[in-house]
Amino acid sequence: MRLIIPDNYESLLGLKQTETALKLMKEHFEIGLSSEMRLRRVTAPLFVLAASGLNDNLRGIEEPIGFKIKDMRNMDAEVVQSLAKWKRMMLRDYDIETGNGIYTDMNALRPDEELDNLHSIYVDQWDWERAISREDRTIDYLKTVARQIYATIRRTEYYLFTLYPQLRPVLPQEMTFIHAEELYEMYPDLSAREREDKITEKYGAVFLMGIGADLPDGKPHDRRAPDYDDWTTETEKGFKGLNGDIIIWNSVLECACELTSMGIRVDHEELVRQLEITGDQERLELLFHRRLMDGELPSAIGGGIGQSRTAMVYLKKAHIGEVQSAIWPGEMVDHCRKCGIRLI
C-alpha cells in the first residue's frame, strides 16, 4: 500500500463544504471547457460491446470488467476504461464540423489500479474530442490546445478562490513545455516518476510531450495504447510523438500530479505502424479500426481531464477519496482516519 501522509494535515473544507465546492467546481469547469474549446456535451456510455474494439486499452496491461448480456445472445460487454476511440466515432456520427468537438462526463472502472493518494478504481473524467484538419496535425497545434486546457484549469482555480479564500491559487501563469526525451536527457539516472517530480517541482506546471515512444534507454516514459494517440510521428526537432500530459506540482503531497492526458489521434498510417510495433495487428478487424482505415473518421485531437484529481488540487486535499466515493483497503481507511484524512 502506497500512501503519502502530509505533516500536520488538516482539510481546509469540511465534508458539507467539500460537497458544495465539488458541485460548483464541476459546473464552472464544464462551462469554461465547452466555451474555450467549442465543445458540445454528449451522453457517454458506461459499457460497450467487447467485439467493437471501442474500449480503451490504456497501457495494454489493464483488464476491463466484462459481463454477458442475456437478451443479446450472451454477447460480451465491457465497462469502459475511457472513451478515446468512441469519441472519435461520435465526431463523425454527430457530424461535428472541423474546429468544434464534443465532451462527456465519463465514468469508468479500472480494477487493476494500484490504490494510493492519486489512484482509485473509480475514474471520473471530462473526456473531450475535437475535429481538426490534416494540416493541424502538428506539435504547434498540440501546444495551442494544451494552453487552452490549462487556461480553463487556472480560471476554475481562481473562481473557487473567490468563493473560499482559504483555497489560495498556486498554479503558475505559464505552463512549461518539454519532451519526454529532453526530460530523460536531463535526469537519465532517475525513473520516469522521479523525472516528473523533478521537473514539476521546478516549474509548477508542465506539458510533457511524446509519451509512448521508446527513449534512448529503449523504454517509453509511459506506455500508450497503439490505436488512439499518435506517438510515432517525428517532429521538427527529431523527437517522436504528438501527445502529452499536463502535470502539476501537488504542494500538499509534494509530488507530481497528472491532471490530463491528450493527443492528436492516429490516422490510418500511424495506426498500422503503431499496431505493428505493439504486435496488435488483429485489431484492424474491429469496428473502430475498420472505420478509420476506410477513411470514415475525421482527423482529431482529444483527451481526458480527471475530475477528482483536479478537484484534489483545487480543494487542497491529500487523498482522492476525500473528493469521490469509492472503495479502499481497510488499513488505508484506518490509517487515513488517524491522520485526519476523512475518506468519503
Residues tagged active-site: 56, 110, 125, 245, 258, 261
Residue 284: closest CA among 172, 118, 292, 48: 292
Residue type, 144: T
The rounded distance, in Å, linking the Cα atoms of 65 and 316 is: 32
For the beta carbon of residue 330, count every other beta carbon within 10 angstroms.
Answer: 7
Matching residue, cell 469519441: 87
Joined together, the cell numbers standing for residue 334 give 484506518
CA 248 from centroid of its chain's CA atoms = 13
CA 264 from centroid of its chain's CA atoms = 14
Phi (first) and psi of residue 310, to 5 degrees:
-70, -40
The rounded distance, in Å, linking the Cα atoms of 153 and 267 is: 29
Joined together, the cell numbers standing for residue 62 give 489493464
The rounded distance, in Å, linking the Cα atoms of 321 and 318 is: 9
Query: What order do you get walking across the sheet with 66-69 strand by strand?
Result: 47-49, 75-79, 66-69
Joined together, the cell numbers standing for residue 32 give 469554461
Matching residue, cell 465532451: 103
With a CB cutoff of 8 Å and minimum separation 6, the contacts of 20 are none
CA 155 from centroid of its chain's CA atoms = 19
Joined together, the cell numbers standing for residue 39 give 465543445
Matching residue, cell 502530509: 6
With a CB cutoff of 8 Å and minimum separation 6, the contacts of 303 are 127, 128, 149, 260, 261, 262, 263
